[in-house]
């Protein structure tokens, strides 16, 4: 590691600590110093992208993400977070490139999360592609709540209600269910004509998330 790289890394680490504590302006100063020292420092560009997102400056965040990845294609964290950023902006196919870049890095410990997020994202355009990514993620780590939830949704849309039920139950086995998954559980059990279990999901949703949009929907549905 060169002296320039080492010094830029020190300022980047300081920026990370300031970012975590909410001292955004000081974090920006440290990152500007790091990039003045070494403009193609991958981590400094990556953290700058995260900072710009905190400032709601998407255009600059986009540029910093790209520079971080172009400077070091093995910066899997930057690639993963850029994939998340693109997915949130509706750029589903574009996000897959970066999720895959992260997942294909043998040193990246969270490749299962990149595969899962890729599946959750691309499922909006292709359930088949989404399912393939989600299955790869679950092969690596068989307890990813978000993957269970998305697979449950995919199975429901495929009218495979027993399959959807199985994934809802796997989701509930690892985390406390959110309103969306409780609503899906209710709809699955209605589709399977199990009114007893459907009623249980209904009551749990209304008690746990009374102000949710899902609870509002339930209140107007015939029982």
* HSE-up of residue 126 (Cα within 13 Å, Cβ side): 12
Contact 24/51 with Cβ under 8 angstroms?
A: yes
Question: 3 pLDDT exceeds 80?
Answer: no
Q: What angle do CA 82, 84, 85 make, to 5 degrees?
A: 60
Same domain (yes/no): 197, 211? yes
Would you call 32 exposed, middle or buried from its count of C-beta atoms within 10 A (0-12, 13-18, 19+)? middle
Mean pLDDT over the full length of the chain: 95
Same domain (yes/no): 80, 64? no
Range of the domain at 106: 74-142
Same domain (yes/no): 49, 12? yes
Same domain (yes/no): 63, 104? no
Same domain (yes/no): 148, 214? yes
Question: 223 pLDDT exceeds 90?
Answer: no
pTM for the complete prediction?
Answer: 0.90
- The Cα–Cα gap between 77 and 16 comes to 14
- The Cα–Cα gap between 63 and 45 comes to 9
- The Cα–Cα gap between 87 and 96 comes to 9
Question: 221 pLDDT exceeds 90?
Answer: no
The residue out of 142, 174, 199 marking a domain boundary is: 142
Same domain (yes/no): 176, 163? yes
Provide the CATH number for the domain around residue 13: 1.25.40.10
pLDDT band at 153, cuts 50/70/90?
A: very high
- For 68-123, the pLDDT digits (tens) are 999 999 999 999 999 999 999 999 999 999 999 999 999 999 999 999 999 999 99
Q: Which residue has the tokens 């000081």?
A: 26
- For 208-220, the pLDDT digits (tens) are 999 999 999 998 8
- The Cα–Cα gap between 49 and 62 comes to 7
Overall number of domains in the chain: 3
Q: Report helix, strand or coil for 218.
A: helix
Same domain (yes/no): 223, 155? yes
Q: What is the pLDDT of residue 1?
A: 62
Q: What is the pLDDT of residue 195?
A: 94
Provide the CATH number for the domain around residue 96: 1.25.40
Same domain (yes/no): 151, 219? yes
Question: 204 pLDDT exceeds 90?
Answer: yes
């Amino acid at each position: 590691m060169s002296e320039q790289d080492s010094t830029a890394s020190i300022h980047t680490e300081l920026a990370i600590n300031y970012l975590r504590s909410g001292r955004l302006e000081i974090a920006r100063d440290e990152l500007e110093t790091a990039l003045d020292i070494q403009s193609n420092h991958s981590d400094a560009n990556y953290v700058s992208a995260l900072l710009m997102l905190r400032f709601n400056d998407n255009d600059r965040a986009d540029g910093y993400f790209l520079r971080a990845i172009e400077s070091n294609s093995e910066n899997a964290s930057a690639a993963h977070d850029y994939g998340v950023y693109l997915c949130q902006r509706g750029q589903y196919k574009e996000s897959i490139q970066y999720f895959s870049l992260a997942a294909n890095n043998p040193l990246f410990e969270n490749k299962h999360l990149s595969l899962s997020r890729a599946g959750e994202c691309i499922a909006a355009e292709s359930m088949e592609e989404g399912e393939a990514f989600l299955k790869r993620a679950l092969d690596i780590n068989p307890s990813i709540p978000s993957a269970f939830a998305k697979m449950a949704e995919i199975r429901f849309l495929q009218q495979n209600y027993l399959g959807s039920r199985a994934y809802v139950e796997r989701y509930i086995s690892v985390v406390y269910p959110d309103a969306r998954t409780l609503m899906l559980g209710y709809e699955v059990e209605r589709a399977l004509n199990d009114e007893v279990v459907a009623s249980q999901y209904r009551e749990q949703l209304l008690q746990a998330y009374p102000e949710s949009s899902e609870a509002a929907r339930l209140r107007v549905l015939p029982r």
